[in-house]
Chains A and B, each alone.
Chain A
């Protein structure tokens, strides 16, 4: 097999590629913020003082803070990911707290695990600042396979979300009618003659967008238009349905599809523009 065969290139892209760690740093900070906004309040004093609750709360706060500022980042982000897994599996599944077993909780957990597997402290962190003071800072580069895992997680959400919607109840538009009436309209069936057709068009459009995004987000030339479509799509979902932090977590996850070196250069350009502006 030639070293540049498509399979080799795919293998390298999946497992051996390296790139800027700034994307990881943004994911690190964003993930902690979203996890705190969704979970932290449930593990504070007014909700009880059981040992499991206190330990989870401490994990969220201590590991979360260290991960957020990027101090002892490898250790802290691993602790934070373990805490997130505990919230999803122990609190969500074992203890039956429904909100912690929801889709958005899993997405936050997956982002936490992805960050923990990556050298996210090599950029925008106290670790880096301390290393620079010692003149021992590593280059802002690292392996990209954790980023691929996050990208495949988002792809799975779209693909399997669309696959589930292929059921007759959804693709006929009737489930869309249910959602519209349940969340907005009420039990009086709308008298508009176009209502069933509009609901079916919305259903088929949703399935099409989700299937398309599951694949096309990986195509570099199509990424920006796809992300634009996805942002509009998720903004619409956020306005219409109680999706919690799901939309924002997806926005953050879109970074995983972008070339980290491009993100790095863009930040450099923005920083240079800002510096020129200040001068």
Chain B
């Protein structure tokens, strides 16, 4: 092979190799966002529209007992598609609580606990401090 042609092959090979490897290195190690390169951070931004939600009924003696939202709503949770089972925000958890209030006996003290997904773990957002049925 002609030396110039070989040199061109070497230059092209290493340029493309750098293009492949430098992008994620820049993003993940140097924390630079280069739009010309793929960063290979698959699903790192996925599932952040999720909260783990728990409902309880607070009794006059201060104790709390769990409330099954599906039972109260009269729904079979497995007949609801996965997206319908997900509450994405703390506001959504409160809204679902208020919906439950309509089906619970009048005067129920319903508390909402919600932890929402972040890239680093769970962020506690609702700590059952208020009775959502009194709003």
Q: A-side interface residues toward B, CB under 8 Å?
A: 14-15, 89, 93, 103, 106, 110, 113, 117, 143, 145, 148-149, 152-153, 156-157, 160-161, 163-164, 167-170, 172, 174-175, 178-179, 181-189, 241
Contacts and interface: CB of A to CB of B under 8 A. Distances in A.
B47 to A, nearest CB: 4
A164 B44 contact: yes
A48 B20 CA distance: 33
B53 A188 contact: yes
A149 B121 CA distance: 36
Which 9 pairs from chain A and chain B are nearest by CB? A186-B85, A160-B24, A182-B47, A160-B40, A178-B47, A189-B52, A106-B38, A187-B87, A169-B120
A241 B84 CA distance: 17
Interface residues of B, number: 46
B133 interface: no
B94 to A, nearest CB: 13
Nearest to B78: A186
Q: Is the interface of B mostly helix, strand, loop or mixed?
A: mixed
Contacts of B69: 188
A15 B54 contact: no
B9 A145 contact: yes
Contact of A186 (B6, B9, B25, B82): B82
A188 B25 CA distance: 38
A181 B46 CA distance: 12
B82 A175 contact: no
B73 interface: no
Contacts of B21: 152, 156
Nearest to A191: B66
A153 B20 contact: yes
Contacts of B4: none
Given A164-B28, A186-B77, A178 B13 contact: no
Contacts of B65: none
A169 B121 contact: yes
B17 interface: yes
Contacts of B13: 14-15, 145, 148-149
Contacts of B104: none
Contacts of B25: 160
B134 interface: no
Given A164-B40, A169-B121, A189-B52, A156 B20 contact: yes
B48 interface: yes
A183 B85 CA distance: 9
Contacts of A153: 20
7 contacts: A149-B16, A152-B17, A168-B120, A178-B48, A186-B85, A187-B85, A189-B52
